[in-house]
Amino acid sequence: MYWTLHQDVGSRLDRRRYFFASQFQQLLALTGVTLVVLTASGPASAQAGFFRMPGCRSYLNPDNMTRYDFSSGVCSGTVEALMSAGPALGICHPPDSTIDQGVRLVVQYVDRRAARLNENFTALAIEALRKAWPCSGSR
């Protein structure tokens, strides 16, 4: 009797594990597809340089009352994060450098390469900051 009861409970647990495992796999697949769609790069991507640059210009404009709007914050936050990651990304900025200086460097760099505005903004910003503030081993 014990063996039959134990076997029955065990098979029910196995079915539940299989059910939850398959649901988890479906959730992972759906999450992966969602991430791919949301981070897709292309001309209409919200990650493209042409989409992010107005926020950077707005951030640098001291007369702009919306300097701290969402798009300005995304730009300055991206640059700040890249500067914080620093040497891990090949960016060795001076200790007294500011976020404003970093944003200004990125804007100048991207403006000189207008043909690349459809590329990913973060990749362009990394490139700009690396060229302006290279680490000694990555010149």
Q: What is the pLDDT of residues 44-77, one digit of tens each?
A: 577 888 888 988 998 988 777 665 688 888 899 9
Q: Looking at residue 43, what DSSP letter applies?
A: T
Q: Which domain holds residue 103?
A: 49-138
Residue 92 resides in a domain: yes
Q: How many CB atoms lie within 10 A of CB 7?
A: 10
* Residues 31, 92 share a domain: no
Residue 22 resides in a domain: yes
How confident is the model at residue 121, as a pLDDT? 92
* Residues 92, 31 share a domain: no
How confident is the model at residue 30, as a pLDDT? 47
* Residues 102, 81 share a domain: yes
* Residues 75, 24 share a domain: no
Return d(Cα 43, Cα 52) in angstroms, integer. 12
* Residues 84, 19 share a domain: no
**Torsion sign (Cα): 70, 72, 78, 83:** negative
Q: How many CB atoms lie within 10 A of CB 80?
A: 15
* Residues 74, 93 share a domain: yes
126: tokens are 């990394």
How confident is the model at residue 81, as a pLDDT? 93
Does residue 7 carry a pLDDT above 90?
no
Does residue 42 carry a pLDDT above 80?
no
Residue 43 resides in a domain: no
- HSE toward the beta carbon, residue 40, CA cutoff 13 A: 9
* Residues 95, 130 share a domain: yes
How confident is the model at residue 19, as a pLDDT? 58
Regarding pTM above 0.75, the answer is: no
DSSP string, 52-77: HHHHHHHHH-TT-TTTTSHHHHHHHH
* Residues 54, 34 share a domain: no
pLDDT tens, position by position, 77-124:
999 999 999 888 899 999 999 999 999 999 999 999 989 888 999 999
* Residues 54, 12 share a domain: no
CA angle 15, 16, 21 (to 5 degrees): 100
* Residues 55, 32 share a domain: no
* Domain count within the chain: 2
Give the position of tokens 């791919």.
36
* Residues 56, 28 share a domain: no
